Structure 1
Amino acid sequence: MTVAVVPDRLAARDPEARRLLDGKGAVVLTGLPAHPDSLAVAAATLFGAGLRELYPHRTRRSVDGAVVGLHGDSLDIVVDMAGLETRRRHPNEDYVLVMLVRQAPAGGESFALDAHAFTDSLPADLLAFLRDTDVDLYGRWAGIRGLPATPRVGRHIEYTRTGRRIHRRTEGVLPLHRDPDAEHVTATLARFDDEVRRAQTALPRFALAEGDILVLDNYRTWHGRDPHAGERLVHIQTLRTDDA
């Protein structure tokens, strides 16, 4: 069973785009202006009336960037805007759109992995850990302003109430506070990290052109990119659909 994902490229308004996204867990959309508004246009075109929430787009500029390892996008941030609590990120964002605005002079190729296939291929005890063990999903990032003070407890593999499988992958995971099994959890998390790094090394790379939008099923497909020289700029938008 292959775990690699190499998305097809097609026009943003091509009716095949949603089918390919559902089939592979990723697709690259072309032909829209290299502007943040295009992320919302692409999301509306793909999901139509099933689009529930768009979270604020964020722009990421990196210079001589280090590798970004395999991950799924999720975070839990609520901010106060003029006395109104406003959610800027959600732990259960189910799709992510990444638009490449400025390509680096060298490096920066992308890679993606089918987390369903990958986790199913792991040793039985490690797969059981991912399914059965509660962890603090963002404990390592507790100092980020806007992140709730209450730990976000969850598991790496969970299911929506309609049966959709969620695969979580962040660098913020820690054992629960005062977990009596903390030593075992820490060791098993390290094993999991090693397995992910091995898989990442073997994945094929693919290049985005400036203006391309990489769309990912965030419950199924983890992604990352290689290190790069010079400046690279992307716009990112996460969202939730009715299926979340």
Structure 2
Amino acid sequence: MPRTASVDDAREVLAEDGVVRIPGAGLDPECLVVTAARVLGGRLRELFGIRPQGGTDSPALGLHNDGAYLQGDVHGRTVRLRDPDEDYLLMHCTSPAPSGGDSVLVDGYALVDRLATDHPELHAFVTGADTDFFGTRVDPPRGVPATPLLRRMVEYTRGGRRAVRASDYALPVPRVPEWDEHLARIEEYADLLATASEAAPRFRMDSGDLLILDNYRFLHGRDAFSGSRTLHVLSVRTTEAF
């Protein structure tokens, strides 16, 4: 469960825990930008647009980490509108759903460390084999490059920071000789994440709550909900990102 802190204390808690919950942030999602600047400070390199992530009567959302492969042409220059390696995620709740919608977090670092002893073959795959991270999106939406994005589920930045990933769209690398074996490992990893999600404790984001998490460390999801829920998300990159 994420610890609660004021904006003034949030930087310290985030550094220690990888996640912090800030209550009473107000109802305007613009607070996401101000809070990102106050908590991340001079490390903040790039902000992507605030995007709505609420909705009405939505099914459960499985464990994942944020990041998208989205490009556009701006004055003849290719610009990333989103980045696959966004390293911090800020979520702001304006109004929770009347029923359901509880959030779930799983510490990816602890999960992968446990894999090393309990499931060494799966650990070897997620740390040592490339995947086609968005492989099942064979007809990608406008702005999504068709070139496969190859990456491992667990990687390290040049500064030594570990990134643990999850993708509902992952497939083996095209034409890899071990296709069937790799597909089985990807499915095994997905099953493990589903089990971890079921076992993890839930918490509810109330009106005005703002959550900041290390997107390289924590996988997040939520329960299904009925009624309407208003939530906005801001993902960023810092100087410690890939």
What TM-score do you get using the length of structure 1 for normalisation?
0.93
| SS class of match (1:210) | coil
Summarize deviations over 1:59-97 as a string: whole Å, max 9, x none: 123211111111111111111245443321111110001
Match for residue 85 of structure 2?
92
- 2:127 counterpart residue number: 131
Q: 2:95 aligns with which of 97, 102, 115?
A: 102
Judge conservation of contact 1:95–1:217 (CA < 8 Å) in 2: yes
CA contact (8 A) 1:75 1:138 kept: no
2:4 matched to 1:9? yes
**Match for 1:20: what amino acid?**
V
The one-letter amino acid of 2:123's match is L
Q: Secondary structure at the residue paired with 2:54? A: strand
Amino acid at match of 2:3: D
Task: For residue 238 of structure 1, report the CA deviation from its aligned partner.
Answer: 0.4
Aligned to 2:224: 227
| 2:28 matches 1:35 | yes
Per-residue deviation, 1:233: 1.6
Shift of 1:149: 1.7
1:81-129 Cα shifts (integer Å, max 9, x gaps)? 4544332111111000111122111111111011000011121110110
Cα distance, 1:32 vs structure 2: 2.3
Q: CA deviation at 1:36?
A: 2.6
> Is 2:235 the partner of 1:242?
no
Identity %: 39
Structure 1 unaligned blocks of 5 or more: 1-5
2:13 maps to 1:20: yes
Match of 2:59 in 1: 66
2:200 and 2:3 mapped to 1: Cα distance? 16
Who is 1:120 aligned against? 113
Q: 1:3: which partner in 2? A: none
Q: TM-score, normalised by structure 2?
A: 0.94
The question of whether the paired residues in 1 share the 8 Å contact of 2:29 and 2:94 is answered with no
CA RMSD of aligned residues (A): 1.3
